[in-house]
Amino acid sequence: MKTQLLLALSIIISSMAFGQQVGKMTLINIDAPSMENSILGEPTTQPLAIYLPPSYEKETEKFYPVVYFLPGYEDTIAAYTKGYINGYFFEKSMNSMITQRGMKEAIVVIVNGYNRLTGCFYNNSPVTGNWEDFVVNEVVGYIDAHYRTLPTRESRAIFGLSMGGYGATHLSMKHPDLFSIGVGECSGLANPTGIMRTSLFIDTNVIKRVISIRNELAKYPREEAHKKYLDTINYYKKTDWVTVFSFAYGSAFAPDTTMNAPYCSYPFSYNENNELVMDSAVFKRYEQGFGNLKAKVEQYRENLLKLKGYGIDYGTSDYFKWIIDGNTYYDSLLTAEEIPHRLWINNGGHGDQHRLRTENVLLPYIDSLLAYDTQHLSNKATIEKFSCTGQAAEPVIDYTSNTINVTFKTGTKLTSLKPSVFVSPGARVSPAAGVGIDLSGGSATYTITSEDGSSTSVWTIKSNATNGTGSNLLPGERLKISPNPIDSNFSLSVNGETINKVEIIDLMGRTLLSRNTNGENIAMERPNIPQGNYFVKVYTEGFCHIEKITIR
């Protein structure tokens, strides 16, 4: 019971003292007039997820750059906010980026790309809605109008995954006046032969299924065909994503509003001999989507040269081999046209390393290029929270001496610890997150550099353990206070060890009394402080002990 009380009280005081700052994710719906005339009746309000950085609500004079993220095909916003993708929570990830990994504070917006066909390709279409207009006009306009943004191209970036990677590379290419940075991860990009190797056409069974559905719908009046089409889509959403993908892609890049549902042209049909034949004119429209990259680079070359940053990231184990080839090809086109860009190649598959790529590569790259509100960057360089595998209780922080004392459980290996170090928002920490430290010698140091780079501080981490073995006693079981509650004089002892220093701390983590000592049994007068609950902190050689006291 005593141990549980100590742990609970330690957590309370450490959270108050450290005051770790975190940002928050807000889910809203905004008006989307770009969807008003879509044949499939896309909702005229669309969801957004908006991450506001830790200082947003407190520092009301500070303005922030904005990073827009475009999800992939079939991915809803909830996939990123509720951990549906390998337990990846975007809010938690952003808090880590800003309080552990040195990213300066920015607003991040997850833009919806999920529609009735489970993906919009961020392209204007009379069938599914004008999704490009939605992003570049309505989303960006809303964010600038309702939040403290830096409303310039230099302070806007856009990145995305898969379908969203296609969207980010194309929207930044087409709108360099709006975005100065565009990055695509596992982007839907196809080389000159790649469209035929996509999921659209690589399997003739899919082609035949799409033709069959189209032929069946053609038998009905327009309104009845429309209803049957929506029912068909809902059925295949549950059974075969590729079929729905085929209609989604066609609706985005080859729409045809004069015909019955599915309201898009299709490059394949049967001839009189029941053989599959291709309509080359329609096929070119399909190539205009993920393909036709050489013509696009030539058309938008001047736009691409205006960008501050342009990046391509893909994995060599992507099961969509056409994406590997398409991204490689796109890199070669940009290189040939002498368009500055970055290429990152990893050993991952199709988005399975999304969190790692986002945290370790893509966001750091974007952060290095964004323009920030330099007048209001933070000058704080503080460790706000510290945790480590094997700790016996919450670490105790001392702001006056920039010291953190950690008591470890018996047997904890102290030679290669990888603590979680949370610092002032936007500050950088060295050694960096994930880098091991050695506490077997009793201490290690971290250097914190503020968000604005103007100030640094050095913090000492002290281990309450000997030779890496630790102690099987928690601090409260080693530290004896008699009497407690305290009415007048009291004494302190720690199992016969020499006490070098005694401190009394209030519940806000403020040091009210500090006294250097030298003895095994220390007599103390009742401190001249109001009645209430406090903590006494005692230092012995290589150890720090803490216990709750009550002053009466």
CA neighbor of 124 nearest in space, from 175, 77, 84: 175
Q: What is the pLDDT of residue 34?
A: 98
Q: What is the pLDDT of residue 224?
A: 97
> Model-level pTM?
0.82
The helix or strand, by DSSP H or E, that contains position 246, with its residue range, turns out to be: helix 241-253
Q: What is the pLDDT of residue 552?
A: 86
Helix axes 241-253, 204-217, angle to 10 degrees: 70
Token pair in block for residue 112: 């919806």
Distance CA 172, CA 320 (A): 24
CA neighbor of 141 nearest in space, from 104, 175, 167, 166: 175
Q: What is the pLDDT of residue 31?
A: 98
Taken in order of first residue, the domains within the chain and their CATH numbers are: 24-194+291-375 (3.40.50.1820), 195-288 (no CATH), 378-472 (2.60.40.2340), 473-552 (2.60.40.1930)
Q: What is the pLDDT of residue 507?
A: 64
CA neighbor of 354 nearest in space, from 188, 198, 186: 186
CA neighbor of 201 nearest in space, from 158, 255, 249, 157: 249
Beta bridge partners of 513: 504
Let me know: does 53 contact 148? Beta carbons within 8 Å: no
Q: What is the pLDDT of residue 88?
A: 84
CA distances from 214 to 115, 217, 243, 258, 264 (A): 20, 5, 12, 14, 10
Q: What is the pLDDT of residue 441?
A: 83
pLDDT along the chain (552 residues), means of 10: 42 47 96 97 98 96 98 95 84 95 97 97 98 98 98 98 98 98 98 97 97 96 97 95 97 96 97 95 97 98 98 97 98 98 97 94 98 96 92 88 89 87 95 88 92 95 57 54 91 88 79 90 91 84 76 88
Q: What is the pLDDT of residue 478?
A: 67
